[in-house]
Structure 1
Amino acid sequence: MTTPLDPVIAQIIPLLPLRDPDNMTPQSARDALSALAAARAAVPPPPVMSAEDIEVKGAAGPLAARLYRNSNGKSPTVVFFHGGGWVAGDLATHDRQARLLAIETGAVVISVDYRRPPEVRFPGAFEDAFAATKDVMARIAEFGGDAARVGVAGDSAGGNLAAATAIACRDAGIKLAAQLLVYPVTDVAGNFADTKANARFPSRAENAEGYFLSRAVMEWFCGHYLADPSDGTDWRVSPLRAKNLAGLAPAVVTTAWFDPLRDEGKAYADALQAAGVPTQYHHGAGLIHGYFGLGEASETAKREAQAARADFKALLDKGA
């Protein structure tokens, strides 16, 4: 039996942005996410010991980043990539998520402001994510100080970047301890517009609209990220299409039941397990895309996010 939509979240959905692709521009999408973050300013963010703006190396030059620290001791380090369809998120929109990650895992968290489309299209964001991760590893003494306990994490488009970065790290001989993929995009072949491609994932029809993230908005995001639709078959944007997933870092994968991305996220978790990668999966009963940002309102969202972060912490503590 399907768990019904969390009633608290049902009341929140009409208030959420990014639901009208016909009238959305990259700037209006960015403004809307920024306004949502600003609207919560009256609620103090989860307190960490320090939050400092820094720079990390991107593929084409320095990138803005934010370093969150909750202890002075040797600790794991997590490179975090924000969501927002590659186009719209930034360090501020995902500040609370990064703070909670630092608090609940005990890790030093570096949130990376990768270059966004349409100004920089695929593979720019992926190349920045991988470059930033390599830079953090090279400078590990400045961060958590333990090269055996480095992980990548991200939500939505950020989960996509984390997944692809984990593959690139394996191929480069870089050993990660863990990856946390929160309702990730894993297969954009067909750009969410192709009927045959969409049919592979029933959630794209079941949750096409009405639950915040819509299939049409995903099509809009892909149209901005990919300069050429044929790029959708590239594993760097569709990690589910990677030829080999063996040897990747242990994974925690979460999805939301009422999310068009649900089935491709589950398919990626299944593919990781089939390749012998230790994988823990959270299916997000009663929840929607974006629920990691709704924990202050929804107890269901809070519990599910905490469970995923606890699993991620265990993997980080164990080390590579």
Structure 2
Amino acid sequence: MSIPASVLYPPFNIVRLSHIVLTVTDIKVSRAFYADVLGLQVTAEDDKRVYLRALEERGHHCIVLEQGDHGVANELGFKVFDEEHLDRAAKHFETQGLPVQWVDAPHQGRTFRTRDPLGIPLEFYARMDRLPPIHQKYALYKGVKPLRIDHFNCFSPDVRASVAFYNSLGFRVTEYTDTEDGSELWAAWMHRKGGVHDIAFTNGLGPRLHHVAFWVPTPLNIIDLLDLMSTTGYVGNIERGPGRHGISNAFFLYIRDPDGHRIEIYCSDYQTVDPDLEPIRWDLKDPQRQTLWGAPAPRSWFEEGSNFRGTELRVSKLKSTPIVAP
């Protein structure tokens, strides 16, 4: 089976993923979870929003929590190379018949919002407020010691269509899963920044956010987080892991925030900067695809996710299923 061809000279330059906006139902409870348990640093806040960054990041925020009536996912944020590329991006989406709305995004420069063809809300900017470095202020390190935001993973009802669109923006496939007969894409991992992925797509009811991931220094930080969560009232928020993925080779843990948004804690994947890097194929029924050690994921991992604001859900076109834990 062929995957959509990479576009090495896209119409504008996306540097990397940047941030995500999540609506939460109790801003104080969510603040405590992300700041006190995970260890993200609060950079600004009021009664309706909390902005946080991880310890290696110089940008003002990698996650924004907004108070609301229901827990939903909002914009997935991406940084482009400069203001010229921001204008080129807006023009590109307009020519594709996709909406472009310029917005006032606090702590960011010129910013516009759009949606991909399946309905995922996206946000693009070139400049964000820069903050002093804190990566050597070790007294601030707590929780799982998150260093940076790493990737988004989304359910897609049409993985091939998602891959084709993001390929056209310069994302490149690093690993993928196809169906049993090899005729169709079931999942794919795509990058801009030189890791295994900035965004990934998994077959399922969607589009929905599956998870947002944060990079941590070592697997031992994940063990520390498990000890912390299990003794501070969060044991029920531990969903899957720890373990090592077959795909990406990364060490992982999946947890849920107070509104059910899924967070992956992630480290130890590999470099993918070469433009001619060949994608790695995985069989859907390979037990080492999900976890190198062979343990299957729970059913919740394949069925539950965060709805995107204002996005209509579609049933997946594929009926193939992976191995699911009993």
TM-score (norm 1): 0.28
TM-score (norm 2): 0.27
Comparing both structures, which one devotes a greater share of its residues to helix? 1
Comparing both structures, which one devotes a greater share of its residues to strand? 2
